[in-house]
Structure 1
């Protein structure tokens, strides 16, 4: 009797395993494998859901889209997370980064599968630079005054910082959720230097936000010029992916169309 029970349990386990295999295979079957996949890297004080309005617009065009969930524990850790997502794609990748995610894609984008880079209100450091030093020659961004550390050195935005400076063009109902779900980032991540700058060998796009209180608009324009990016400007806060998702999606789609 026990033998029969063990056999039934084993059969059930196999059935469950096959079921999970079928589910896991479903995303790989979606989208056109001959076109680049889109891998999106979120910034500090956010998570992958920050892109919830843009992702459906890309998927509606038949694209495979993956939003990386950054640990936000170090540059190295976030780059590793991005690289895993890139390696999991069947072909070429258009790599998108927002804010801190720009530093991540600058390092992770050297992967042979990456066809192009899209910076959305994002940092674009050079080799040997760290993220913190990029804004030193510009007036302080107003939102920085609302970043607070915890006892372990992780940084978060206050409610006021999120509402008035990170996403001031979104309703209070949205910023309340963003405040509650934000991903704290380890402060020393901003001090870690890049060892490679993928924009030197990859075509790049940059969407600059003229009402940004987190990364100075002038700095954004200067970085876009330095990396030779296709430039688009929008009158938006630091999170155009939430306030103007169609415009952000169009920039990404342009990179997809021109990627080889």
Structure 2
């Protein structure tokens, strides 16, 4: 970790400690919307949710259908529409594609990307993966006639689930939500991070979205960066660290 990254991480943790003492009452934004990635559901956010709600943040977790990115955008937009004020959008993995579009909503004041795609206009998740390949590969997929796919268990455990306990990795692999291959091909039409503050939590041991790709996207976006030494499933492996960054963002945005 570079000295700058160390300072950033230290600052994020310090803010987390201070916020834990003061709670959400002093935050500029109290509403937080959490968006999961592909092939999983909102339960991956449970430990982050518990930490934030304990401090009186109003946290809502979206359940996306994963049938198409258009359907996922609509699902997130519905939750955005029922919030009672300004909010943060927080996404893991593929969810970054979705919040990059939904984030243009005027009530969204900032975006937090957690081991996530942070695409620019015209880019897709699949295209970004191809530009900087990790260990995730098409031969790890079982694709069905209707266009949905599952990640084969061996591939899920070794690539997506690295950093999880063996028990948790097997559970997540065997409770997958089938996703449509079209979500990897969807090219976004707007990039909310171009006009709004953003944070990027980089998983330095990620085998799915490479750390270098995460750094490239966050640098381009001018995001505030925090690096965490673990694999792709940071909301589950490092919920306290992730919650700290979300608190920092909630206190920073206007």
- TM > 0.5: yes
The one of 118, 122, 128 equivalent to 2:122 is: 128
C-alpha separation between the residues in 1 aligned to 2:243 and 2:73?
Answer: 23
Q: Select the residue among 212, 219, 234 that pairs with 1:225.
A: 219
Q: CA RMSD in A?
A: 1.5
Query: Do structure 1's residue 213 and structure 2's residue 207 form an aligned pair?
Result: yes
Find the aligned partners of 1:235 and 1:173 in 2 and give their Cα distance: 20
- Structure 2 equivalent of residue 41 of structure 1: 35
Q: TM (normalized to structure 2)?
A: 0.86
Relative contact order, higher structure (CA 8 A, sep 6+): 2
Larger radius of gyration: 1
Unaligned regions of 5+ residues in structure 1, if any?
1-30
Q: Deviations over 1:35-55 (max 9, x none)?
A: 331101100011000111110
The reply on whether 1:154 has 2:145 as its aligned counterpart is no
1:108 to 58, 79, 102: 102
Number of residue pairs the alignment of both structures matches: 229
Match of 1:176 in 2: 170
1:141 maps to which residue? 134
1:165 & 1:208 partners in 2: Cα distance?
16
Distance in 1 separating the partners of 2:184 and 2:163: 26
Question: Which among 226, 245, 248 is matched to residue 251 of structure 1?
Answer: 245
Partners of 2:172 and 2:227 in 1: how far apart? 24
Q: Please report the TM-score for the alignment, with normalisation by the length of structure 1.
A: 0.84
Contact 2:28 2:251 (C-alpha < 8 Å) held by counterparts:
no
Task: Tell me how far apart the structure 1 counterparts of residues 218 and 141 of structure 2 sit (CA, whole Å).
Answer: 25
Q: Residue in 2 aligned with 1:79?
A: 73
Give the aligned partner of residue 237 of structure 1. 231
1:185-204, aligned counterparts within 5 Å?
A: 185-204=179-198
Question: Is contact 1:36-1:259 (8 Å) kept?
Answer: no
